[in-house]
């Protein structure tokens, strides 16, 4: 999809599905470090990185940007997960920890295809609220979190979602939550998980897969000539090779992320349903 920016697309637009879950209190970092797959304790104040929450079997329930303002204040920027449901699920593990989990319904998440005013890389910006650098040097994107919303621009939103997928950031809808390990989603490309920190839900499986070299599947990126649904099987002839995980559709065409074997015949024609898949190289630049 074309990343050239028409003048009209410099406008700010809403990012529906994005939401904020705050973790506040004296034990905020300790609690998050014990629950999430990234090294929260090593994250500097005023910075963010990709992270996620796993099932005990090491499957990704939710993928998010974790913002650390200071040792007592963290935000999870949820891309697709239900903030209320995640808050309720995490609440079961608070026990005596001095933390408060709160969905920030008063915060609105918006995007624009412009260079951030203050944020750069993993550094959080404070320009009319909170801003994150969600782009690359070649293709800038600014994500803002503030008290003012914006209207939905379907064309801009489709382009935003396609950018995510093209750069290896899977968007996990309800049907794909809890289905895949971090390695199967190639989240090492985003530096979204740690194999060196202490225990967290699913850590044993993640670490064993890493250190024993047992990762046999990962993400692959494709174009299709028409829309395709998440969860669709990917086939080579009669053989089922994998599954469509994330889809971004624009003008009936789709950008598709699928989990497939890392070793496969590159010459084989792949189909999702009856649609031919045209493979593209995953782009870099969204690791933080």
Tens place of pLDDT per residue across the chain (288 aa): 444 444 445 799 999 999 999 999 999 999 999 999 999 999 999 999 999 999 999 999 999 999 999 999 999 999 999 999 999 999 999 999 999 999 999 999 999 999 999 999 999 999 779 999 999 999 999 999 999 999 999 999 999 999 999 999 999 999 999 999 999 999 999 999 999 898 999 999 999 988 888 789 999 999 999 989 999 999 999 999 999 999 999 877 899 999 999 999 888 999 999 999 999 999 999 999
Residue 76 has φ and ψ, to the nearest 5°, of -100, 120
Question: Residue 101: which of 168, 151, 144, 53 has the closest Cα?
Answer: 53
Q: Which helix (H) or strand (E) holds 241?
A: strand 239-250
Q: What span, in angstroms and rounded, lies between the C-alpha atoms of 87 and 44?
A: 24
The shares of helix, strand and coil residues in the chain, as percent rounded to the nearest 5, are 15, 35, 50
Q: Which helix (H) or strand (E) holds 103?
A: strand 100-103
Q: Which residues pair with 101 in a beta bridge?
A: 23
Q: What's the pLDDT at 8?
A: 47
Is residue 234 within 8 Å of residue 191, measured between CB atoms? no
Q: What span, in angstroms and rounded, lies between the C-alpha atoms of 288 and 285?
A: 8
Q: What span, in angstroms and rounded, lies between the C-alpha atoms of 252 and 264?
A: 28
Residue 111 has φ and ψ, to the nearest 5°, of -135, 160
Q: What span, in angstroms and rounded, lies between the C-alpha atoms of 275 and 272?
A: 5
CATH 2.40.30.160 fits 187-280, yes or no: yes
Domain ranges within the chain, ordered by starting residue: 11-166, 187-280
Same fold, 11-166 and 187-280: no
Q: Which helix (H) or strand (E) holds 146?
A: strand 142-146
- Hey, which bits of 150-238 come out as E strands? 217-224, 233-236
Q: Which CATH architecture has domain 11-166?
A: 2-Layer Sandwich (3.30)
């Amino acid at each position: 999809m074309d990343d050239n920016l028409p003048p009209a697309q410099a406008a700010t637009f809403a990012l529906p599905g994005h939401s904020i879950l705050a973790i506040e209190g004296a034990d905020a970092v300790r609690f998050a470090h014990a629950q999430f797959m990234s090294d929260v304790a090593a994250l500097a104040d005023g910075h963010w990185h990709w992270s996620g929450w796993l099932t005990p079997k090491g499957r990704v329930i939710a993928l998010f940007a974790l913002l650390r303002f200071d040792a007592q204040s963290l935000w999870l920027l949820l891309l697709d997960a239900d903030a209320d449901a995640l808050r309720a699920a995490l609440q079961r593990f608070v026990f005596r920890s001095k933390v408060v989990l709160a969905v920030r319904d008063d915060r609105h998440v918006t995007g624009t295809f412009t260079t951030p005013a203050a944020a750069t890389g993993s550094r959080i910006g404070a320009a009319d609220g909170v801003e994150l650098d969600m782009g690359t040097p070649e293709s800038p994107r600014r994500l803002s979190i503030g008290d003012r919303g914006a209207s939905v621009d379907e064309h801009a939103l489709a382009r935003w979602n396609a950018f995510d997928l093209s750069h290896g950031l899977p968007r996990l809808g309800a049907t794909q939550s809890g289905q895949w390990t971090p390695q199967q989603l190639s989240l090492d490309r985003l530096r979204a998980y740690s194999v060196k920190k202490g225990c967290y839900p699913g850590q044993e499986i993640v670490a064993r897969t890493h250190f024993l070299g047992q990762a046999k599947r990962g993400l692959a990126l494709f174009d299709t000539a028409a829309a395709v649904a998440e969860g669709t099987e990917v086939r080579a002839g009669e053989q089922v090779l994998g599954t469509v995980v994330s889809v971004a559709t624009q003008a009936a065409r789709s950008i598709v992320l699928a989990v497939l074997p890392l070793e496969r015949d590159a010459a084989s024609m792949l189909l999702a349903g009856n649609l031919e898949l045209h493979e593209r190289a995953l782009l870099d630049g969204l690791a933080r």
